[in-house]
A and B are shown apart, each in its own frame.
Chain A
Amino acid sequence: MIAPLVDAGLFSDSASLLLALAIGVAFGWALERAGLGNARKLMGQFTLTDLTVFKVMFSAIVTAMLGSFWLARLGWLDLSRVYVPETFVVPQILGGVIFGAGFVAGGLCPGTSCVAAATGRLDGLAVIAGMFAGVTGAGLLLPRLPALFDATPRGALTLPDALHIPYGAAVFIVVVVALAGFQAAAEIERSRR
């Protein structure tokens, strides 16, 4: 049998929701264990005093990327059936800029605000309230501006497609960049101590 398992018709709808719950619990657990439910810790990334955000995010990306690459190589996972976020060049660069400014203004990102709120942090609840207002306003406004919202669509474009290199080569490059980043993170933290 080839994963994703949900395509094999193994689960009923309610079993699939139970799996969503279990994956969410593990996700929230991992974020909290890392300290990413704490806005002060998250902001250390941007004052360059505590690079936990970078370390956690990139070790997670590398782990999942290498895992899915090797499972696909072994024939156990059909990568073409795993969802790849679609690329919209201009909306994602502009959205990223707005999001990044909001992240540093608010101190938490969407997932970590949920963990912050779940651990008693009222600033987490405030970020959640603001975000709800933001997605509601944007959901009403942006579909009326298709010239911006739907600009520069590129579909499920991946780095190996865009760079015309083999998938494994792109994986290798990300690993090398991440390892260099981990080394740099250690040096930055040392120099700030």
Chain B
Amino acid sequence: MAAPKPYANPYLAGTGLGLVLLAAFVVAGRGLGASGAFIRASEHLRGSGGPWFDWIVVEIIGVVAGGCLSARLAGRWRIAIERGADRTASGRLTAAVSGGVLMGLGAVLARGCTSGLGLTGGAMLSVGSWLFIAAAFTAGYATMPFVRRAWR
């Protein structure tokens, strides 16, 4: 396989992402989301939600398809575990599961994640979204010293 292509300029990719978000506002009157799809699927399995096959779940199926297609076309699709040089594979996967559990808890409590609160609410100037963004990034920087060695 050819060498992977370099990633796009972040401002170009970000502007493109912003246009996708704007299209969601114009077409559907709602923005983008991610944790909502997990919550919907979980509620459905517990028998407490409505149909699982709704807007947010279909959108996240699209995210998987779009990410896969983009990586394939750029030669970036490969089976791998992204980790620091002195991090074991099982250590990295354990940290990933733990981080996922915390994010699941945080997203339910906050009613959104970096997509639904961060991007969507950020662009719609929601107060709660900006509080969430500030809290999440502050906590992220406060956590990094404890895990920094894992990313060397």
Listed in ascending order, the chain A residues whose CB lies under 8 Å from chain B are 3-7, 16-17, 19-35, 37-41, 43, 45-47, 52, 55-65, 67-68, 71, 77, 81-89, 91-124, 126-140, 142, 148-149, 154, 156-162, 167, 170-171, 174, 182
A170 touches B125 (CB 8 A): yes
Task: Give A34 Cβ to nearest chain B Cβ, in Å.
Answer: 4
Provided the pairs A56-B10, A121-B82 are in contact, do residues A24 and B63 lie with their beta carbons within 8 angstroms?
A: yes
Contact residues on B (Cβ < 8 Å of other chain), bracket: 35 or more
With a cutoff of 8 Å between Cβ atoms, the chain B residues found around residue A130 in the complex are 96-104
With a cutoff of 8 Å between Cβ atoms, the chain B residues found around residue A102 in the complex are 98-106
A56→B50 CA distance, assembly (Å): 34
Provided the pairs A24-B60, A118-B71 are in contact, do residues A94 and B92 lie with their beta carbons within 8 angstroms?
A: no
User: Quick one: which of A62, A92, A110, A142 contacts B103, CB cutoff 8 A?
Assistant: A110
B61 touches A99 (CB 8 A): no
A89 touches B131 (CB 8 A): yes
User: Quick one: which of B16, B32, B78, B102 contacts A99, CB cutoff 8 A?
Assistant: B102
A120 touches B102 (CB 8 A): no
A106 touches B14 (CB 8 A): no
20 residue pairs bridging A and B, Cβ less than 8 Å apart: A23-B28, A24-B60, A26-B16, A31-B17, A45-B140, A57-B122, A59-B11, A62-B18, A63-B17, A68-B25, A85-B126, A97-B136, A98-B103, A99-B139, A101-B143, A105-B99, A108-B96, A118-B71, A137-B101, A161-B127
